[in-house]
Amino acid sequence: MSPVRNKSRGAITLGMVIAVVIIAVILIVTLIVLWPVFKGEKGVSPSQSVLFRSEDGANTWKPLEKFPGGEILTLDFDARDPSTLLVGTRRRGLWQGKTSGEEWRQFPGGLGENSQIFDLLDLPTAEKLIALVLFSNRGRVIKLEEDTRTELLFTPLERFAYFQGDLTPDGKLRVIGSDGGFYESRNQGATWRSLARFQEGLALMAVNSANAGEIWVLDSRGSLFYSQSGGISWKDLTDGLKNFQGAMEAEVILFEPRAGLLYHGSRHGLLKSSDRGRSWERVNLTLAPEVLPVSALAADPSDPNKLIVGAQGQLYISQDGGISWRGIQLASSGSIAAILFDPKNSNNVFIGLKTGQRLR
């Protein structure tokens, strides 16, 4: 009986070794998928901060841990003072501070505590700006000039909001609403008209900065519409997206005029179109399902081939128009919501994070 007992013990020991090896392989594969910091890449240790700065073109990052405003929805520079950053948050309104991460000040009133700041229109300053705000459960377009705050537009019903807007070179204000409206003002917000109304609420907008008449909007169901007339008439381009699983759950859309490309970020990943959104192709960026959707995207103002993509707390950077990528694990929790290049020095880049919950 003794030889039989020894053989039994040997079989058990071998099985345990095999099990340990299998578990180790699973752990290694999981780490590779969920921790995409590639060999030789310099970044930061995963951080709980919601605001980050890079001074070397997105190679290394520093958390700006003194920012007190919580989850971030939008970022912009003060047009008069490039050393000042304007930060719109999810619950604590609009903040002004130094790009070094110091000297933060919260704006008062409807731009302050308990307000959500979805967008700041072009060329804002700390003294003069136009913000798209959700305050007291109602969407508002608020103009701040010196110490005077003026409501230019507000939603007639509660729980509706204006998510994105645009200020054209000739002074037209345009905003999209979760009520399905596309609104325009030609007199600095004194009066407004609805140029179009869609069946579903509008969530995202992209504008050709070289031709303000070209506009793309996405509704809350992911349907895509395109206008060449400044918003007067629209064409439904949704069918081109339906071939890509998860593309109807869109989070970001961007038109890059120098390359003539329209980018679309969603739970599918990153797509691009060279024909204004009529047809699409996948960008060569493979993302694990756990980090989707693509939640933020920006192009370097000095080089249209340099792209930065955010998905969860991870950054992906391409120097060649999306052919190859390198990754950085930026944060251990949250989702990248805003990427901001300094237009005068694109080595300076800022990142803002929110929680993973969809807002629109």
The residues pairing with 63 across neighbouring beta strands, listed in sequence order, are 52
Region 88-114 average pLDDT: 96
CB under 8 Å to 49, separation ≥6 — which residues?
63, 64, 65, 67, 331, 353
Residue pLDDT, tens place only, 275-302: 999 999 999 999 999 999 999 999 999 9
**End-to-end CA distance of the chain, in Å?**
71
- pLDDT tens per residue, range 33-54: 334 333 333 444 555 799 999 9
Q: Among residues 315, 287, 253, which one has the least CA distance to residue 54?
A: 315
The pLDDT value given to residue 67: 97
Can you give the pTM of this predicted structure? 0.86
Q: How far apart are CA 171 and CA 23, in angstroms?
A: 62
**331, 337, 203, 235: which is closest to 226 by C-alpha?**
235
Does the structure show a pLDDT above 70 at 154?
yes
Measured between alpha carbons, how far is 21 from 170 in angstroms, rounded to an integer? 66
pLDDT digits (tens, 9 = 90+) for 312-348: 999 999 999 999 999 999 988 899 999 999 999 999 9
* The predicted structure's pLDDT at residue 96: 97
Average pLDDT of 205-233? 98
Q: What is the pLDDT of residue 46?
A: 56
Cα atoms in the Cβ-side hemisphere of radius 13 Å centred on 4 = 1
